[in-house]
Amino acid sequence: MNAVVLGSGAWGTALSMLLCRAGHQVTLWNRDPEKAEKMERKRTNPRLPGASLPRELKIRASLDPLAEAELTVFAVPSYAVRETARLVRPALKPGTLLVSAAKGVEPETCLRMTQVIRSELGEGFPLTALSGPSHAEEVALRMPTGCVAAGEEEEAAQRVQEAFTTGDFRVYTSTDPTGVELCGAVKNVIALGCGVADGLGYGDNSRALLITRAVREAGELVLRAGGSAWTCAGLAGVGDLIVTCTSRHSRNRKAGLLLGQGLEVRDALEQVGAVVEGYYAADSVRTLSERLGVSMPICSCVYDMLYGGFPAERCLERLMGRPTKREF
């Protein structure tokens, strides 16, 4: 299969390597010609230490390969998905299988990433979201990983499953893109909160409390949006929460850690040195939850810290001081 991966960050590069291992002809797109040429020549990505790019992987700044692509993957940051979809629209071949590997909700519209892509490209393309506990650094090094491909059409999800599954990357299918994508956005916000707790010196109990209650928050949001609460118990929900809230690879957790240690928001984001999706997701998830009438105290607390100047050292205090209630 001819495949194009849009976005040569860590995740896009790791997915390109994965697709090469699966036997596809793959082009990795970087909109900057100079950076594309450098990656093509050096066969490395600085964000994936220890990983060498396959010789057969092409890195290009041109969109010409889209004309022959049977599979196109959106692996750009969530804030760039609409612009990228608009940019590639004239070059896409009708019927191309599209995959969104971006996690987030568009702030202005509260649309999920597949909805953003659909609004720009129309109905002529099968469309699936790919999500789950999958740090790019580990996928690039062929560590066993599991994800879920979610599309409203089972056939599209099965095609993505077949295209991406290898001996070290296992893909399950789902017909709940709403749940899968909303879990992917919420988990980045929660990872920031867990990082704050770590930065403040709290321990495993605090992290477990945040992760478990986050499943509850995500479940209520997913249900109200029309998805299935069962999705929150799967790879896109619990699985992604565990990996993002605990791993040294997590940019969201690292940003929260720095905030908990006393850095200002801008300084923490700059020190991470890469896109912190949870920063953007905190705003969009808050907007969506308010529109749907869902109470999300953890996400709201993270939002107030990031955008309202709420002191990081008081976040857990505020959450622990809420009125007591039944668990379910």
Catalytic-residue membership of 58? no
Helix (H, G, I), strand (E, B) or coil at 236: helix
Helix ranges restricted to H, 79-203: 81-88, 113-121, 136-140, 154-164, 177-199
- Compute the distance between CA of residue 6 and CA of residue 88 in angstroms, rounded to an integer: 9
Residue of 35, 42, 103, 187 marked catalytic = 187
161: phi then psi, degrees, rounded to nearest 5: -55, -45
Owner of token pair 């720009």: 120
Distance CA 193, CA 17 (A): 32
Q: In whole angstroms, what is the distance from residue 98 CA to residue 230 CA?
A: 25
Rounded to 5°, angle at Cα 103 from 97 and 108: 105
Going through the chain in order, the beta strands assigned E by DSSP cover 2-6, 25-29, 58-60, 71-74, 97-100, 127-131, 145-150, 169-174
With a CB cutoff of 8 Å and minimum separation 6, the contacts of 78 are: 102, 103, 104, 105, 106, 113, 185, 277, 280, 281
* Adjacent-strand bridge partners of 73: 5, 99
Paired tokens of 11 = 């995740």
| Residues that are catalytic | 187
